[in-house]
Copies of this chain bind each other. A is one copy, B any other.
Amino acid sequence: MTTTFPITTLQKRVEAIFRNAGINDVQSAALARVIVAGERDACKSHGVYRIEGILRTVKAGKVRGDALPVLDDAPAHGAIVRVDAAGGFSSAAFELGLPTLVARTRDLGLAALVVNDCTHFSALWPEVEAVTEHGLAALVMCPSYASVAPAGGIRPLLGTNPLAFGWPRPGRTPYVFDFATSVTARGEIELHRRAGKPLPEGWAIDETGAATTDPAAALAGAMLPFGGHKGSAIGTMIELLAGVMIGDLTSPEALEDLGTTTLAPRHGELILAFSPERFAAGRAGNPFDRAETLLLAIIGQGARLPSARRFAARAQSEAEGITLSAAEVALLDRLLKRGLDAVS
């Protein structure tokens, strides 16, 4: 048996769970928006499944549910806009900083939003898409916690460090990609372990640094970066720009701070925004029209644009509502009723 919710109804229900667990209004609303966006886009790994992890991280005292993010939009910072998440989740902090990021980008052509001292649990595409809604392009990155060995290395050091990019397409869903710089997600390895299936080659190494297809050995060892030394280099860049440069934790530091891989990690986030209109000013052609020529040529080859599946699911959810399984509905009921007591 399934239940279908209008999007706004599910938003209110998820928001209530967070408020009931003692998380303040501004954070509850922002968290619920991200969770519901995951369900809306059939991105189950970032949907209601994530609520328990959020509550566990609150209960463990690793994130502050009562934190109020603080915006620093001093013009003296130039193209850098900062939000101090004050130990709370990244979502509300991002929402607070977005209008200033947009204004600064329109003013200067490009600008950066730095979110510091936040706990991050979501995909990066919600941030990317929020920027593209203002007609701007976005490049977003953050560390995670040490679980990936650098190419040629033998131990976890880098995070799965997601990289996401968005380009606005007026009148259409944006061009958006969002992926981990590891070959795969840690959850995928866990799923193989539970299913008793060997891993594909090239996903992981064991504790000695040797290649392995054994999921248990991989979980005790390290994941590998995507694309060999190239993905490893990009993962390292993300540590440098979105960890070290913004004065926040790198993935090894985040793991040390957290002490476990079962909670959401604390670190910072870097959002770069670009104004195509400012960059293209004075040059021939409209950048949005020219982008369509390129993107339609990709589709014309029979290739799919990234996020296409997600946008198709979104269109369906917006028309028909979001359908949850009986187990998911029971989970929401239990979490609403028991709050932090529902999680260990």
Total identical chains = 2
Contact residue among B110, B245, B250 (Cβ-Cβ distance under 8 Å from A279): B245
Contact with B along A158-174 (1 / 0, CB 8 A): 00000001010000000
A331 CB-CB contact with B under 8 Å: no
The yes or no answer to A231 lying at the interface (CB within 8 A) is: yes
Question: CA of A316 to CA of B324 in the docked complex: distance in angstroms?
Answer: 65
Other than the known A110-B111, A245-B279, A247-B281, what 10 A-B pairs have Cβ atoms closer than 8 Å?
A77-B109, A154-B301, A154-B302, A157-B297, A179-B233, A226-B228, A236-B295, A244-B280, A244-B290, A245-B276
Least CB distance, A124 to chain B, in whole angstroms: 13
Provided the pairs A108-B108, A303-B152 are in contact, do residues A137 and B226 lie with their beta carbons within 8 angstroms? no
**A33 at the A/B interface (Cβ < 8 Å)?**
no
Size of A's binding interface in residues, CB under 8 A: 73
Task: List A residues 232-280 near B (Cβ within 8 Å).
Answer: 232-233, 236-237, 239-241, 243-248, 250, 252, 272, 274, 276, 278-280
Q: How far is the CB of A29 from chain B (nearest CB, A)?
A: 28
Which 9 A-B pairs give the minimum distances between C-beta atoms?
A247-B283, A227-B227, A78-B108, A153-B301, A152-B303, A153-B303, A177-B233, A80-B109, A247-B280
A107 at the interface (CB under 8 A from B): yes
Asked whether A334 is an interface residue with its Cβ less than 8 Å from the other chain, the reply is: no
Q: Nearest residue in B to A116 (C-beta to C-beta)? A: B283
B-side contacts of A280, CB under 8 Å: 244-247
Answer yes or no: A121 CB below 8 A from chain B CBs: no
Q: Is A189 an interface residue (CB 8 A)?
A: no
Enumerate 20 A-B pairs (CB-CB under 8 Å) in ascending A order.
Answer: A78-B109, A79-B79, A80-B278, A110-B111, A110-B112, A151-B303, A152-B301, A153-B302, A153-B303, A155-B301, A157-B298, A175-B236, A177-B236, A179-B233, A209-B301, A229-B306, A245-B276, A246-B279, A247-B280, A247-B281
A92, CB-defined interface residue at 8 Å: no
Give Cα A247 to B289, complex, Å: 11
Please, how many angstroms separate the alpha-carbon atoms of A231 and B274 in the complex?
21
Q: Which residue of the partner chain B has the closest CB to A106?
A: B78
